Structure 1
Amino acid sequence: MTVHFIGAGPGAPDLITVRGLRLIEKCPVCLYAGSLVPEEIVTAAPEGAHVVDTAPMNLDEIMAEIEAAHAKGQDVARVHSGDPSIYGAIAEQIRRLDDLGIPYDITPGVSAYAATAAEIGAELTLPDISQTVILTRTAMRSSGMPDGESLAELGKSRATLAVHLSINNLANVVRDLTPHYGEDCPVVIAYRVTWPDQQFIFGTLGDIRAKVKGSGITRTALIMVGEVFGRKDFTDSRLYAADHTHVLRPAKV
Structure 2
Amino acid sequence: MDKRNEGTTGTVYFVGAGPGDPDLITLRGKELLTIADCIIYAGSLVNPQLLSYARPACRCYNSAALTLEEILHIMCKEAAQGHCIVRLHTGDPSLYGAIREQIAGLRQAAVPFFVIPGVSSFTAAAAAMAAEYTVPGISQSVIITRYGGRTPVPERQEIHNYATHTATMVIFLSAGHIAQVQDELLQGGYAKDTPAAIVYKVSWADEKILSCTLGSLAATGRKANITHTALILVGHFLGAVYERSCLYNPSFTHAFRKGDKEGNHG
Q: How does 1:211-222 map to 2 (within 5 A)?
A: 211-222=220-231
CA–CA distance in structure 1, aligned partners of residues 48 and 224 of structure 2: 26
Aligned partner of 1:201 in structure 2 is 210
Tell me if 1:158 matches 2:166: yes
Superposed CA deviations along residues 187-215 of structure 1, whole A, max 9, x for unmatched, are 10011111000111111111121121111
CA–CA distance in structure 2, aligned partners of residues 112 and 70 of structure 1: 30
CA–CA distance in structure 2, aligned partners of residues 210 and 139 of structure 1: 20
Superposed CA deviations along residues 69-95 of structure 1, whole A, max 9, x for unmatched, are 012110101100000000000000001
CA–CA distance in structure 2, aligned partners of residues 226 and 79 of structure 1: 32
Q: Of the candidates 252, 255, 262, which is equivalent to residue 247 of structure 1?
A: 255
Tell me if 1:35 matches 2:48: no
Contact 2:72 2:102 in 1 (8 A): yes
Tell me if 1:64 matches 2:73: yes
Aligned partner of 1:98 in structure 2 is 107
Q: SS of the residue aligned with 1:193?
A: coil
Aligned partner of 1:224 in structure 2 is 233
Tell me if 1:55 matches 2:61: no
Q: How does 1:116-135 map to 2 (within 5 A)?
A: 116-135=125-144
Shift of 1:245: 2.1
Q: SS of the residue aligned with 1:238?
A: coil
Contact 2:250 2:259 in 1 (8 A): no
CA–CA distance in structure 2, aligned partners of residues 167 and 33 of structure 1: 19
Tell me if 1:188 matches 2:197: yes
Shift of 1:250: 3.7
CA–CA distance in structure 2, aligned partners of residues 166 and 128 of structure 1: 28
Give the aligned length: 250
TM-score, with length taken from structure 1? 0.96
CA–CA distance in structure 2, aligned partners of residues 239 and 247 of structure 1: 11
Shift of 1:157: 0.8
CA–CA distance in structure 2, aligned partners of residues 155 and 128 of structure 1: 18
Mind listing any 5+ residue stretches in structure 2 that lack a counterpart?
A: 1-9, 261-266
TM-score, with length taken from structure 2? 0.91
Mind listing any 5+ residue stretches in structure 1 that lack a counterpart?
A: none
Letter aligned with residue 180 of structure 2: N
Q: Please tell me the root mean square deviation across aligned C-alpha atoms, in Å.
A: 1.1
Q: Of the candidates 145, 148, 155, which is equivalent to residue 136 of structure 1?
A: 145
Tell me if 1:178 matches 2:186: yes
Q: SS of the residue aligned with 1:187?
A: strand
Letter aligned with residue 176 of structure 1: E
Aligned partner of 2:122 in structure 1 is 113
Q: SS of the residue aligned with 1:197?
A: coil
Q: SS of the residue aligned with 1:136?
A: strand
Q: Which of 80-89 and 222-231 deviates more? A: 222-231
Contact 2:76 2:106 in 1 (8 A): no
Which runs of structure 1 show a deviation greater than 6 angstroms over 4 or more consecutive aligned residues?
none
Letter aligned with residue 152 of structure 1: H
